[in-house]
Amino acid sequence: MPAVTLTLLAPEQWRAAEAAHAERMAAYTRPYRERRSAAKPHPVHDFLFTYYSLTPGQLERWHPGAGVVLLGAEAVAERGAWKHYRVIEDADGAGTPGVCADVETFARDRASMVSFAGAILVGTAARPGNFACFGLHEWAMAYRSDVHGVRHAYLPLRLGAAGTDEVVEAHQIRCTHFDAFRFYSPEAVPLNQLQPTRETQRDLEQPGCLHANMDLYKWAYKLLPAVSSELVAECFELSWRVRAMDMQASPYDLADWGYEPIRIEEPEGKAAYVAAQRGFAEEATALRARLLGELRTAGLLP
């Protein structure tokens, strides 16, 4: 693994960055904790905390990324024992200790995950986007709700059960994302033109997919501390906005929650969906490139 050029941060620098990141993320984590304490779920805002595995506390924790050394005895005392960090006894050549991400140990311990994430990210970046899915994955999950019920039991279906089924049956469904497809109702599974599996995920992910773009957050946090928390935060905030649009285009009625529907069953709604989808794809493409760049800078990818 090639040596990474080190950047040194004085205590006042890294403390400021640490505090700024915690406050940035608290705008999302603080309301979630309050809702959780009050047992008041939110159908849009809770998703990134319940579907993904990073806890609010872990999201608030700041990591500078590979090649950044936090100087001072306080950094060593606080982070010296953190997983995938290492202590440098003389970090600045003047006897000041410091800590930084231990990329070599991370690469050894998480080799299979790094390889899989890299394959997903590189493959997705290389493929053309599909902008004709219209968010029908959420509709397929609610197909035949008269038999199976719905995932969000406290939300009404905007068109009712029969109307939702009619939309599914009137469209060709071509979802490429396994982690959406696996939640389809049993009757909807054969209606999908593709049959994604975990094994074919690296071959099917494409940059137009809302869920693939939300998953940039997942890959970013799984690669901590080798990547920066700044990039994780940007992926999180993109996912936050994508989730809102995903649910607006879903069969659920979110009017009581302040969300206007994107009526993908109508031509105007389809056009609005595609326009938003393309905008998110552009943002995700830039973030995906940055994530791959940080992995290559860290020596984790060629």
pLDDT for res 71: 98
Q: What is the pLDDT of residue 265?
A: 98
So what's the pLDDT on residue 2? 53
Contact 144, 165 (CB under 8 A): yes
37 vs 19, 31, 48, 70, 133, CA distance in Å? 25, 10, 17, 35, 37
* Portion of the chain with pLDDT greater than 90, in percent: 96
The distance of Cα 191 from the centroid of its chain, to the nearest Å, equals 27
Task: Please determine, for residue 3, whether its predicted confidence score (pLDDT) is greater than 60.
Answer: no
> Where does the pLDDT of residue 96 fall: very low under 50, low under 70, confident under 90, or very high at 90 and above?
very high
pLDDT digits (tens, 9 = 90+) for 256-287: 999 999 999 999 999 999 999 999 999 999 99
Give the residue among 15, 28, 79 at the shortest CA–CA distance from 54: 28
**pLDDT of 1 over the 60 cut:** no
| pLDDT greater than 80 at residue 179 | yes
Which phi and psi angles does 79 have, rounded to 5°?
-115, -5
| Alpha helices (H) in the chain, listed in sequence order | 11-38, 47-50, 56-60, 73-79, 103-109, 111-126, 136-141, 145-148, 160-169, 178-181, 201-204, 210-222, 229-248, 267-297
At 154, is the pLDDT very low, low, confident or very high (cuts 50, 70, 90)?
confident
Short-list 219, 256, 218, CA closest to 49: 218
Q: What is the mean pLDDT of the chain?
A: 96
Q: Taking 80 as the threshold, does the pLDDT of residue 5 lie above it?
A: no
pLDDT given for residue 169 in this prediction: 97
In this structure, the number of other CB atoms found within 10 A of the CB of residue 93 comes to 7
pLDDT at 59: 98
Would you say residue 4 has pLDDT above 70? no
| pLDDT tens-digit readout, 25-73 | 999 999 999 999 999 999 999 999 999 999 999 999 999 999 999 999 9
**Residue 126 scores a pLDDT above 90:** yes
Tell me the whole-structure pTM to 2 decimals. Answer: 0.96
Encoded amino acid at 148, one letter: H
Q: For residue range 212-258, what is the model confidence (pLDDT) as tens digits? A: 999 999 999 999 999 999 999 999 999 999 999 999 999 999 999 99
Other Cβ atoms closer than 10 A to 136 = 26
